[in-house]
Every structure is written in C-alpha cells, then in structure tokens.
Structure 1
Amino acid sequence: MKKCLILFFVTFLNFSVLAQPINVSPTQTPQQLVSNVLLGAGVVASNITINGVPGLANTPFGNIAYFTNANVAFPMTSGMVLTTGDAMGAMGPNTSGSATNPGNSQLVNTDPELNAIANGNITNGVVLEFDFIPAGDTLIFNYMFGSDEYTEFSPSNFNDAFGIFLWGPGISGPYALPGYPNGGDNIAVIPGGIPVTINNVNWVTNTQYYVFNEFPQDTYGDAVEYDGTTVKLTASASVQCNQSYHIKFAIANVFDQAYDSGVFLEAGSFSSAAVSVAVATVSGDTVIVEGCTYADFIFTRPEAQSNDTLIISYAISGSAVQGVDYNNMVNPIVFLPGQDTVILNLNPTQDGLNEGFESVTITVSIVNPCGDTVTSQGTIYLGDGPIINILESDPLVQCFPDSVLLTASASGGYAPYDFSWTTLSGAPLSSNDSVTIYATQNGVVQYLVTAVDQCNFSQTDTATVTVNQTISIDSIAMTPATCIPSGTVFAFVSGTTGNVTYTWSNGQNGQTLQNLSGGWYQLTITDQVCSASDSILVTTINAPVAAFTANPGTGCSPLNVSFTNNSSNANNYSWDFGNGQTATLPTLAPQNAVYTTDIPTGYTVVLTASQGANCQDTQSLFILVNVCDCADAEALNYNPNANVNVASMCTYPYPEVEAPNIITPDGNGINDFFELDYVNVISIELFVFNRWGSMLYSGSSNDVLVSAPKWDGTVGNREACEGIYTYTYKATGVSGAEVQGHGFFHLIR
C-alpha cells in the first residue's frame, strides 16, 4: 500500500482585521493545552511533564498558555505558546524593544540539548515533554519562533535557544535519552539541518525565514510583542505507526534573563494521519455568516509525498444542503505531482430566510500503513445574518440651552460597529457612537442612530430627548421713551420655582424698569432650576426740531413779515418776536402754518417747538428793519438845478464785523467753527490762510440770513494741525457800504 498523509484544514475567512493583537489566556493547564489544542488527528499523547516534573502539567503554568488571533497578517489563528518569560508578555502590539516579563519561579537553568545548541549556559528555561503514538507514517506540525533579542543581539552571545527533540523507532541523533539507544534528533531546523536559533535565523542570516516586527517593517507588530520572528515553519519526521515516541519542546534564555523569547505551536497541527481535519476561524469560532464570511477547506499532504498523484474522496453531511445553502464543491480532490495543498471554497448563500444554524461536516477516512482505518472530520455552521441590538439612552433635559450626550452601543452583529446619528428628517449630526444634543424647544425630540457591523448588516433605532423646562418669559410690556429717558418695561413670567432673579442687560434688576432711553434691553430670569432669556426694543418718540423762514428777511420800517413754520415732531409751537409780542399756534395746527405780523424795527424772532412738557427745541432769526421814511439819495435822478434836502435823506447803520481768536474743532458742538459775528450785514466773504500764506478756505454768502461762511478746521477732509492761522473778510452792509478786515486766530484740538 502506498504510504500517504494528508492534512485537511478548514479556514474561515471573515472580514479583514489587520491591527489586532493576539489574545493570550493562561488559564489552561499544559495537560489541557497538549490534549485539546496542540494535538490533531492520528496522535495519542501521554506522560505530559513540565521541566521534568509530571505534577506541573496539571496546573496552569505562567510560561505556557493558549492564544487566539484575529489579525489576518499573523499566520496562526490559535494554538499554544511557550515563552522564557510570562506568556502574557507575548501579546502585541510591539511597543517595547526589550520586553522582559518574569515568568514561573520553577524554570530550569540547565538542559543538555539546549546547552548543546546554544553553546552557552541557559537561563529561564521551560521544557514541555510527552510520549505519543502516531497512527500514520509521518509526524508533522507547524511552529514559529520569536524574540525581543532581535535585532540588537543577532548575532551575539545572547543566542536564545529553542529546539524540538524527537526520540523513537527509526530516529537517531546526537541527543541521548535512556531507553532510546540510537539517540534523538532536533527537528526544529531549516533546510540544511540548521537549528532554529537567533544566530541562525535573523536579518542577515537565512533572511528568507525571518520577519521584521519593528517599525517601519512591523509585519506582525500589531499581533505580537517580539521585535522579530520566523515565518511559519513546518517540522516533520518519518515515524512508524502505532509505535511509541518521545518529544521535547524546549526554549530558554542564554547568559542572561532579559529580553523574552517564545515559540508558537499551531492548534491541531501536531498530527500523524492519512487525513487530518482542523477547523480554524479568524473570529475564533466555527460559524460563517450568510452574506458576510466564507470558509476555505485546505487539504494538505506532507511535502515528502508530494511527488505522487493522489486522489482523495470525502463525505459531506449536515443539515445544510449543498447547492442550496452553499456552493457546490469538487469531490474527489486531486493532488498533482509537486502539489501539497488543495483549497476548496465554501460560500454560504444569503437567502434571507430565518433558518437558524445549519451544519456542514467534512469526513475523510483512509487506511493507514498499519492497516487501521483513520477517520477525521471537521464541522462548520452556517448562520443567518445577525440581528443587531442597539442600546441607547433616552434622557430628560430640564433647561434651555442645556446639552445632553447621547451614546449608543451595539451587540449581536460582527464588531466593530460604525455609527451615524441624524435628525428624523435625515440631517447628519455625528459619525461617532455619541452625539451632543442642545435643548432648543420644550417637549419630545427624537433622533435616529444607525449601527453598521463589519458584515455591512445594519440596524436603526430611535433616541428620545425630553425637554421639561417650565420657566418662561411670556411677554415684556413697553412704554416708549421720549427725548428724555422716560421708557418703561415690565416682564410677565410663568412656570418659576422658588425665588426668581431678574437681570437686565443695562445692569439693573427687577421685574420693572423705568426711565429708560430707547434701545434694546435683554432680560434673563433665573429660578432654582432653570433660566430663560428674552429681549425688548424700547422705541423712542422722535424729538422736536424747530425750524422756520421769514419773508422778507429785511426791509424798511414798519415791515410786514410772514413766518412759515417748518418744524417737525412737535405738536405745540410758541413764537417770541423780541419786542414783547408773542403768539402760540393751536396744538393741532398744521406744521407749516404761516403767521404774519408787523415788525417796526430790528428784532430777534424765536420759535419754540415742543411735544409734551419736557421735550422742546428752539430756532432764532434776526430780522433787520431799517428806518426808510426818507428818499434814498442813490435813487434820485441827478439834476444840477435841483435842491436836495439832506434832512430827508435815508440813513443806514454801518456794518460791523467781529472774529473769534480761538477755535477748538473737537466735535463737541462748542466753538467747532471759525465764523464771523456781524450786524447790519447782508453779504460777506471769508478767507483762511496758514502761516505761509497758502489759502486753506474760502467762502461767501449773498444773504447772511440764509447762510454764512464758516471753516470747520479741515483741509481736504483731513484735520488741520494746531497752530496760528490768518484770515481776511469783506462784508457789505444794507446801504451797500463795504468793510474789510484781517487778523489771526489759534486752532487748538
């Protein structure tokens, strides 16, 4: 019968997880780890010891532990790990280049096989040994060696040692063990029989078997702590079925106790059968999900037998139906010469039916070289798409504008989850698992939260925020202000609890404010629970503006003058003609009413426009009246024979002009202009110069009753500098007489 050995793996491929560390659990005993984790098909183990002591195998040992892995970059999904330090220190990510974790106190400091490999004294050693009986003709298993001695101490005297030593029928080598006269051999070697140690496999020697774990080439850095590891290696040996063998797994530090090293042994890979079936998943269980995950069935035969063509048939059973619940798979499978692996893909069909878990079992039965039938099988389960459960809060908010943090968590799907928050109308709020909500209105407000798992299954739930603020500013009453501060406001509030404070934006307190000027006023009320704010605009009744014109503005006595009232924002008007005569227009009289009176001589006329008792404005105007009860000499025709009575000639007062000697144009309304003071003048011209004689201003008026020239202290829209300035003027009187003058004045700012 042709000797053959096939390894059959079921690998479940889930969503890509690239940045997770392995999980190390130290709770299982070495006895459990060997029997339930390491052993595959076709092997029976016994006499398990740790460091040569049988009893140590029956209690958890800190340097030996179970590991699982969800990081697809790391090539083992589960297994057991042996370390020179505490096994928990093997977990990634790789954040230390010199991890040293004290392990079990019962470690060994001598081992003849390790001393021979390391060429030095060992420390912190852990040795796992057991006897086994293979069912096939080949022993095979997978392992990886890693260390924090990389890369600083490779190569060096700190050559942390590792070996897998095998004794039994057909095995010979340099390692002596009582009961095995031919000695034993180290099967933890790379091609050429080179033992796997730090000095033999590193970044400069046998680099094809070495993996960097340090930045920036941290291939496995997120999974394990070690700075460097080997690739996944396969140890194998030719054995005789149904014969007893002894194997030793040993690892230790050399010369010192620092910088941990470890060896990973892949779950289910220690096997010796025609077919070995192992089930391994990225997620750590045996379930694949419709529409999300799939499984690869990996058939592997030993490399030593890969030169032959091999045909293997397998049986499929279980509650799932091939071609309905999952795809059709090729049966039998064929290994071609040179091929040691065949992969079959199982892809579950997403049918949308709630069928519960359905099983698929692969069974392979082959007769081994000893004539025994060895049967191995692996089972996987097909699961429906998960129902995601979202847990979120429904808080109560007491006050505006308090905020509340809404937080959601999800379960039932395939973590991690992506969350999104929106309003009921779909407006986005947050893409995190939480969102801050500010209370803007009383009552119930709802928000939507959606969780999407790594299989793209989603669930949406509603979060409810209840706002229960009772305090309220219902309204604010207002009385307008006039031209003096006379406005009032009064606040009407409700829903308060206990004492209430009223705070206005002008610094005053109280429910009522008086004597207010026009403008906006904001009120904040606060009770023992909440606060509320509102504002009110105090309007202003426009102040009166007195204005009138006189026609004519000058003439001979007696002069009949009509005054036109052009005032605004007033409802009462009072005249004073300067000679004891007064007049008051009715309250409801038209604003532009005309009042006519005789002015016998020159007087200043004053109009007072008012609205109420305390709001008024005035304007004054000088009416020039001349005594004209005689002939105007300039109006007589010249007759050399005529007699002219000088006594009957008209006389006019001479024009007089005065100028200020200082101005202060600072905008306060007092002394802001350089302007002339005059009497008996009907027209005037004014010129202003700087000290170098450059003219800065010129102005004139032909009717000073309408307007008069004045300088505002600027040159080209820019303020003139302080200093001394000169001026000239020319004024014309009623009689036509002209008067000229000049002088200087000071400009002070």
Structure 2
Amino acid sequence: MKKTFLVLCFLFSLSGFGQLLIDDALTVTQLVQTVLVDASVQPSNITFNSEPANSTVVQVSRFSTGGVSTNLGLDQGLILATADAHVAIGPNNQEGASTFAFGGSYIDDDLMLIPGAQFLESSSVLEFDFIATGSELNFDFIFASEEYPEYSNSTYNDVFGFFLSGPGISGPYSNNAKNIALVPSTNTEVTINNLNNGTENNGPCQNCGFYINNGIGQTPNINPHIQYDGFTSVLRASSGLVCGETYHIKLAIGNVGDNTYDSAVFIKNFNIRQNLELLDDNGLVENLDACLGQNLTIFSNIRPQGNVFVWTKDGVVIPETGPSITVSEGGLYAVNIFTEDGCQFAFDDILIVFRTELSIVDPPDINLCAVLAPSYTFPTINQTSTILGTLNPSHYLVTYYNSSYDDAVSGSSNGLIPFGNLNNYTISSATGVIWVRVEEIGPNMYGCVEVISFKINAYGIQTGDISYAKELYCTDVTTPQPVMSTASSGGFFSSTPSGLQLDVNTGAIIPSGSDGGNYSIIYNVPATGSCPAYSTPATLVTINSVAASEPIVVSPVLYCKDDTVQPLIANGVDLLWYQSAVGGTGSKIQPRCLMLV
C-alpha cells in the first residue's frame, strides 16, 4: 500500500494536482481530544471497538486538504473508515478501491438495525461520553463510499450512524439512542440507498441534491483529490441537549455484504453550541475593509429574552449586553451566549478591520477681498482637483454642502450645492463653511465616504486713518493718550524716529516715558486673504520736555541811559516768553526792554 501511495504522489505532483493528506500518527484518544471536538466538549471514556483508545488504528486518522481547494467540502477533521483511511487519498483511479477490514469481524448491533445492514461484515466504532455544556450538539460530516454509484439501491450498502443517547433522548437503538446522521430537513437516515443519483449517476434521484459524483475510477485527471467514487455534500448532525447532563455518542461505520469497496465518514466541528454566525450590517462574516469613521453593527440574530450576552473585543470583555453591538474600532469581536442558569449555548467571533483615510488633500480656505457689504460673491469654490490630487477623478464622487457635516456624511439633499452653483458662489455673511463629501465609486472599491471642510472668508478693502486729541504733549503727562482710528482692525502701530513710548497694539502713547521731539505715527494692516497690506497716512505728534523746576527770571533789570539793551535772562531749557501773565502767544526769543528809565 505504501508503494502505491508513493507512486501516486509522484505521478500527480508532476500534474500539479493536490491530494487529500492522511495523518495516522495520533492515537484515537488524541484524535478525539485535539481534532474532533472543540473547547465546548470534554470527552471521557473514549473507546474504539469497545477497547480503550490509547493506540493508533488505521481506521481513524486526521485528514487535511493541505490548504488546497478540493471538491470534498471540508478542509480538515477526523476520518472514520471501514478499513484503512489511506484509501481516501486521491486521485480516483480505481473503480472499487478496497483494503482488508482491519479489526476483523467486530459487529455493532446498532448498525445492524439500519435498513439494508442485516449482512454486516465488520464495523469501526468510536465512542465517548461528554457533559452537555450547552443546549445543542452540532457537527459537520460527509459520507463517502466506493460503492457509489454502481451498488446504489442494492443489498451491498455500507452503512454508518451517529448514535446519541442520554437525558431527553428517545430512539430505537441501544440505551434509547437515536441516529442523528439524517438527510437534511427529514427523519431519513443517510445511506447509499436513500441518497444517490442512480447506478450510473444519471438517475433516478434519491435526495441527489446532497450527492457529489466523483467519477468511477477512470478519470483521475478530472477527479484528482479523493479516491471514493461518490460522497455527500457537507451535512450537519445536531440534537438538543439538557445542559449539565451526561451523554454518550457512538460514531460507527460498517461493511455490508463483503469487506471490499471501502467507505468512510469525514467529521469536523464537533461542538455544543447553537448554530451562530455573527454578521455585520453588510451581511459579512468578516469585514477587512470597513470604512474609517463608519459605525458598524454586529448582529447575533439570537433573541434577547432569557439569554445572557457576553461580548469581547480582542479577548477583553466590553460593556455590551444585547444581541447586537455597534462598533467604530477594528478588532476581533466575539460573543458568548448563556442561558439564565449559566449554560453556554452559542459562540462566534468576527474580525473587523477599518481602512485608513482616503488619500485626499485638505483644501485651503478661500479668501475674498471685497467692499464690505451684506453680499459677497466668490469666483469659485470648486476645489475638487486640489482635493483629489493624484487620484483618478472617475473613481470618486465629490459633492459640496453648505448646511452641516451630518448632511454631507449622510449624502442628504439638504444643503447640497448644485455643481453649477460652485462658480460665482454668493454668501450674505462675511464668512462661511463648506463641507466636501468624497465617495468611492470606482471598481473594487467599497463606497467609503470621507467629509472634509474649508472656510470661505470675505475681507474688506483696507482704508482709514488715525489721529490723537493733541499734536503737542509735554513730558509731564503720565496717562496713556489714546488713538482715534477709522482703520480696519488686526494691524499694529509704529513710529519714527525712536524714543516715543507707543503701545503697538492699541496705539496709545505715554508722553512721560518718551523723549522730547517730533514723531511720525502710522497704523499697519497686514495683507488679509486677497487684500493687500495697508498703512494709514502718518499723523505727527510733538513731545516737549518740561524743566525740572520753575524758571527763574533775573528781575528787575536796570538800564542806564544810552546803555545797550540786553535781553532778559532766565534759567531753564526750551523756555517760551510771554508779554502778558495770561494769554498771548509764547516766543522762544528772549525779549528786550523797550522802556528806558
């Protein structure tokens, strides 16, 4: 047998075909514990043909497709065969592949009760106990046989059965067991006679919607994966359980009429959970391209009444207790569902991955320099080319809104700016916000939407001037002297030459902190939007220094006749002379006496 296997592998590796892989290295107990059941099942009292299952047997092995797509329907699991499980390995190049029925003539009484199995020759029987940790048992299986199709509807029909016994179970087999290997939506047990498409695969049909024709051993190039001539599609065995009670399962298959023309059952996903499949609101069991910023709802479709929902994200419990949750972050989300008395009956998980942001460019604000008035017209607010950058414009739908972010995200008609109105766009206030909605519409895209915004601002043409209450201040004035301005806000003040104490923000001057002299002051408004920079006409301010003390005039002044008249003398600097005590105009020229005594 090994030589035949090696030759077949060599031949078909040259043809590029993928074959079924059979691994017989594990004991039967190890296969049950690590391959057949999941964490919801703790098997005990495992036996094979009524003997302890602590050794390897050729009838029970692990199968795998090795990641290659095949027509089997299951990618891995446990195979239970009438004889050597290696017969399952493709291609289908024999009309009736057979090996000796290892285990001799072990006969299972329950198999003999299945119609057509009265002449049972040998059996392969795997049994174990388990405690129901939930309310429903489920597993997937495929029955395959070399007796397809030619021995359909005959007395040479290999048989199999999954016999479940325990609390709440009532059936015709030993320990009141029932056979849960049934044709879907019926109480009909799966056998070759009641699931086939006739002896030549062309009818009459007996539940043939669940039958797969794998050739008759003459077309190995067409049927490269599996040796068996025919097999069922993936079927599901299930039964209700009483949580916390102990049950017994017998997985059995047998040769009928002879020990040739081998058969097998492939089994996967033996678990105690309700059939649960988490879906997002796109109907996906896994979403690796969720749109950034999108809220996704994950549905369990399990009724909330009488059930307890425990949700996790990346293995950490999250505070959600309903049958569905809404998420906005990526991660592995899972739900465990329990009955009110703490019995777990369902579990599933779903991977959500959010995409990065669209590769669009944030548009700049648009500024307009205009005469300030209650209406402003912008030549255009269309920034689509800037926003898309190097992206293909035919793959994106770009629309503009003037109402709100929410309207733009939802694609509402409210606030939508018609494309023709993007040019010569008019607003009544001096500023506004435009939201831009960018939606994927190209091939192999997911319709993701991103909304960005920019401002439109109207600025008045800069005008105005500045002045002060006086043109002359003395240095003994200590209070700030405010500026009077008709210019636009947002600028700064400056003066020349240096020496003037000037607040550049408010324009106020403090004479007492300034040096005496003449100063030119202007107000500077920087460029705003499309409006150029502007400076007001200069205003002139003089600061006069004040003497440290009152001037002292040398008085009286006496002259003799014919003396040369000398000017009056006083100490101090920057003095002004007056002809009268009150009023008049001061003069810096020292006066001379006109009356001679």
Instruction: Give the TM-score normalised by structure 2.
Output: 0.45
Q: Which has the larger radius of gyration?
A: 1
Q: Which has the higher strand share?
A: 1
